[in-house]
């Protein structure tokens, strides 16, 4: 073994490479009692590696099944494992596991809602996020401002941002009049606040932003805000093939006829909604520093204006 430390730890299931790079930079990772430095290589898989003082294994967890969740992130939740102020995070509602952990595939701003992928495979998460893979992300965006054909052409041809040139792969008008318009836009990288900054470069303000697609994985219209669903083996292997990883052979989902029946699908949807409702009630009654927005609880909108949209090309 002679690989970068963050790559080894990601393959062992301790987070994505990006997450682990942040931990290493913060001095929270050590090897044989010495604080690790970013770029350090691990040559001995039996070395004593600690994260936040806890010993972790550097050996690849080949026995762990690659699982992928689709989560409908509501506005207001943070894409972090723990928040010192006790605010809600996207990890609060995810199913608990033993011997593995959920890794977020990228992030969404606190004020952005929609599709967020989680996986147990750190290497899969890293490849899906990496700009070199050019994996498409599609958003439904509501914009306030004067918009004309020239501005749209600018956004498609590319504009200079603080961190380099950025552009939309596709822009489709979906309605609106006056100063308020709705668009579907596609990007193939995940820079910080990229969609918002692109519109701001044209003197427009994003008033609502929702991710509806990642690759060919769409936000299911049956999924409520705060709900999650696990992808089947075919969908998991679509993502793995997309980033040139070997196919997964196992799944923890029951592949039976009952699972594909309308009755089973309706039952699963009802269970998800009940679980989301119980979580909301538990948070609102338990204190814990996390506030619950009653206005948000009153109305449960459909999870996907876009559930079956095809890709724009």
The enclosing H or E element of 71 equals strand 68-73
At CA 270, angle to CA 82 and CA 258, rounded to 5?
115
Helices 233-242/122-129 angle, 10° precision: 50
Q: What are phi and psi of 70, to 5 degrees?
A: -105, 125
Cβ–Cβ under 8 Å, residues 24 and 38: yes
Decide if 109 is catalytic. Answer: yes
213 DSSP 8-state letter: E
78 DSSP 8-state letter: B
Residues counted in the chain: 313
Greatest Cα pair distance, the chain, in angstroms, is 64
Contact residues for 286 (Cβ-Cβ < 8 A; gap 6+): none
From the list 92, 109, 220, 232, the catalytic residue is 109
- Beta bridge partners of residue 34, listed in sequence order: 31
Cβ–Cβ under 8 Å, residues 206 and 168: no
C-alpha to C-alpha distance for 186 and 170, rounded to whole angstroms: 5
C-alpha to C-alpha distance for 125 and 118, rounded to whole angstroms: 8
- 293: which 2 tokens? 């927005």
Contact residues for 103 (Cβ-Cβ < 8 A; gap 6+): 13, 15, 16, 19, 118, 119, 120, 121, 122, 125
Catalytic residues: 109
């Amino acid at each position: 073994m002679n690989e970068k430390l963050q790559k080894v730890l990601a393959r062992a299931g301790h987070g994505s490479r990006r997450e682990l790079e942040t931990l290493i930079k913060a001095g929270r990772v050590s090897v044989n009692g010495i604080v690790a430095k970013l770029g350090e290589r691990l040559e001995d898989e039996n070395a004593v590696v600690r994260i936040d003082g806890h010993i972790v294994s550097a050996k690849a967890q080949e026995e762990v099944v690659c699982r992928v969740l689709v989560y409908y992130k509501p506005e207001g939740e943070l894409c972090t494992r723990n928040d010192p102020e006790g605010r809600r995070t996207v990890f609060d509602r995810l199913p608990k596991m033993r011997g593995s952990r959920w890794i977020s595939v990228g992030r969404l701003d606190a004020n952005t809602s929609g599709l967020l992928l989680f996986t147990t495979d750190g290497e899969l998460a890293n490849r899906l996020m990496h700009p070199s893979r050019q994996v498409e992300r599609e958003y439904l965006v509501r914009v306030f401002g004067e918009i004309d054909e020239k501005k749209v052409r600018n956004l498609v041809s590319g504009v200079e941002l603080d961190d380099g040139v950025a552009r939309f792969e596709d822009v489709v008008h979906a309605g609106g009049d006056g100063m308020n318009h709705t668009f579907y836009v596609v990007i193939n990288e995940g820079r910080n606040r990229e969609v918002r900054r692109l519109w701001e470069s044209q003197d427009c303000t994003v008033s609502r932003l929702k991710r509806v697609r990642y690759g060919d994985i769409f936000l299911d219209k049956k999924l409520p805000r705060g709900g999650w669903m696990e992808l089947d083996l075919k969908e998991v292997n679509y993502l793995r093939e997309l980033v040139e990883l070997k196919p997964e052979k196992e799944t923890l989902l029951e592949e039976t006829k009952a699972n594909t029946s309308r009755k089973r699908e309706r039952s699963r949807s009802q269970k998800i909604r009940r679980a989301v409702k119980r979580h909301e009630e538990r948070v609102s009654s338990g204190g814990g520093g996390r506030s619950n927005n009653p206005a948000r609880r009153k109305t449960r909108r459909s999870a996907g204006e876009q559930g079956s949209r095809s890709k724009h090309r």
